Amino acid sequence: MSTPELTQISKFLSLVLRHNPQRIGIELDAAGWTDIEALLAKAGQAGKPITRELLEKIVAESDKQRFAISDDGSRVRANQGHSVEVDLELPVVAPPELLYHGTADRFLPSILRTGLERRNRHHVHLTANRATAIDVGSRYGRPVVLSVAARRMVEAGHEFRCSANGVWLVEAVAVEFIEVQS
């Protein structure tokens, strides 16, 4: 299977596992998991045939590690980025001193007025890797990297979680914790 085809299937999985499970008639449990066999059957019925082997390949080889398979191998879920109500059951953890957020320069005026808001997602997504922030920002236009004073935020009472694929999650980031890097 070619890379563009794998990308299309990964996007489809993101859609149904993060935003719109009812599109193919699957249900996510409270923690975002769904039965793999049900997912594969419903995806096939929706004209998106996916084999177990292909699903496992996408989960294992995705550069962003967007998905996880349960320890018993029976369920799959997205690691973060949901717009549907789920509780990923991620523990509160201490972040590094600085984290980064990539965005496009056209969003900078709004961010500098209101901070980083989760919008239709459950959390603001941050990374410990500046290069990743640049890549994310590049998807939306000319990239700008913002540094976030994560340790100061913790001292001010904010809680951070880290998803299985290393994405740092927080409810919001106020302007006083943001510095423009580039």
Domain boundary assignment for the chain: 3-78, 98-180
Average pLDDT of the residues of the chain: 91
Q: What is the CATH number of domain 98-180?
A: 3.20.170.30
Q: What is the pLDDT of residues 118-134, one digit of tens each?
A: 887 778 999 999 999 99
Which 3 state secondary structure label does DSSP give 36?
Answer: helix
Whether the model pTM is above 0.75: no
Buried-state track 99-112, b at ≥16 Cβ within 10 A, e below 16: bbbbbeeeeeeebe
Is the pLDDT score of 182 beyond 70?
Answer: no
Is the pLDDT score of 87 beyond 80?
Answer: no
Q: What is the pLDDT of residues 69-84, one digit of tens each?
A: 999 999 999 987 777 8
Looking at CATH, the fold of the domain delimited by 3-78 is given as: Arc Repressor Mutant, subunit A (1.10.10)
